[in-house]
Amino acid sequence: MENRVQSLLMCRLPIVQGGLAYVGNGELAGAISRAGGFGQVGSAGRTPRQMLDEIDKAEISAAGAPFGVNLPLSEHSDREAYVEAILENAHRLRAVSLSAGNPRPYIERLKRAGLIVIALVSTPLQAQKAEASGADLLVAEGYEAGGHNGPGEWTTMALIPAVARAVKVPILAAGGIASGEGIVAALALGASGVQMGTRFVATKECVAHENYKKELIKRTADDTRVIERSRGRVTRVLQSAHVDDILKVEMRQHSEDELYAMVRGERNRMAAIGGVLEEGYVNCGQGVSLIYDVPTVEELFKRLMDEMQQASQRVCGIDARFF
Ligand X SMILES: Cc1cc2nc3c(=O)[nH]c(=O)nc-3n(C[C@H](O)[C@H](O)[C@H](O)COP(=O)(O)O)c2cc1C
- Residues comprising the chain, all counted: 323
The answer to whether residue 20 forms part of the interface with ligand X (CB under 6 A) is: yes
6 binds ligand X (CB under 6 A): no
Stretch that binds ligand X, among 61-69, 137-145, 226-234, 310-318 (CB under 6 A): 137-145
Instruction: Provide the pairing of β-strand 171-174 with 147-149.
Output: unpaired
Of 53 and 254, nearer to ligand X (C-beta) is 53
Q: Is the dihedral of CA 106, 108, 112, 116 positive or negative?
A: positive
User: Which of 35, 62, 177, 270 is close enough to bind ligand X by CB under 6 A?
Assistant: 177
DSSP secondary structure letters along 119-152: EEESSHHHHHHHHHTT-SEEEEE-TTSSEEE-TT
Query: Which residue of 11, 21, 62, 166 would you call a contact of ligand X, by CB under 6 A?
Result: 21
**Is residue 196 within the footprint of ligand X (CB under 6 A)?**
yes
Q: Does 201 bind ligand X (CB under 6 A)?
A: yes
CB of 113 to ligand X, least distance (A): 20
User: What are the beta bridge partners of residue 226?
Assistant: 236
313 class by beta-carbon count within 10 Å (0-12 exposed, 13-18 middle, 19+ buried): exposed
By CB under 6 A, is residue 72 in contact with ligand X? yes
Cα–Cα distance measured from residue 235 to residue 219, given in angstroms and rounded to the nearest whole number: 18
CB of residue 184 to ligand X, shortest distance in Å: 16
Dist CA 121 CA 164 (whole Å): 12
Nearer to ligand X (CB atom), residue 65 or residue 119: 119
- Min CB(297)–ligand X separation in Å: 15
Residues of this chain, 205-234, that bind ligand X according to CB under 6 A: none
Secondary structure, 3-state, 97-114? EEECCCCHHHHHHHHHCC
Alpha helices for 195-253 (secondary structure H)? 198-201, 210-218, 241-251
The one segment of 54-62, 79-87, 140-148, 224-232 that binds ligand X by CB under 6 A: 140-148
Q: How far apart are CA 28 and CA 304, in angstroms?
A: 17
- Assess contact for 56 and 91: CB atoms under 8 A: no
Q: What residue type is 237 in one-letter code?
A: V
Nearest-5° Cα angle at 252, 246 to 253: 110
Name residues whose C-beta falls within 8 Å of residue 253's C-beta, 6 or more positions apart in sequence: none
**Among residues 29 and 65, whose Cβ is nearest to ligand X?**
29
Residue 103, interface with ligand X (CB under 6 A)? Answer: no
Stretch that binds ligand X, among 13-21, 55-63, 107-115, 309-317 (CB under 6 A): 13-21
Residue 67 near residue 42, CB atoms below 8 Å: no
- Residue 18 and residue 26 in contact, taking contact as beta carbons nearer than 8 Å: no
Residue from 33, 70, 126, 224 binding ligand X (CB under 6 A) = 70
Binds ligand X by CB under 6 A, chosen from 228, 287, 291, 311:
287
Q: How far is the CB of 9 from ligand X (least distance, A)?
A: 15
Choose the binding region for ligand X from 1-9, 14-22, 78-86, 161-169 (rule: CB under 6 A).
14-22
Residue 150, interface with ligand X (CB under 6 A)? no
Site size with ligand X, rule: CB under 6 A:
29
The distance of closest approach from Cβ of residue 95 to ligand X in the complex, given in angstroms and rounded to an integer, is 13
Task: Give yes or no for residue 118 binding ligand X (CB under 6 A).
Answer: no
Q: Which residues contribute to the site for ligand X (CB under 6 A)?
A: 18-21, 23, 42, 44, 70, 72, 99, 120, 141, 144-147, 174-177, 195-199, 201, 283, 285, 287
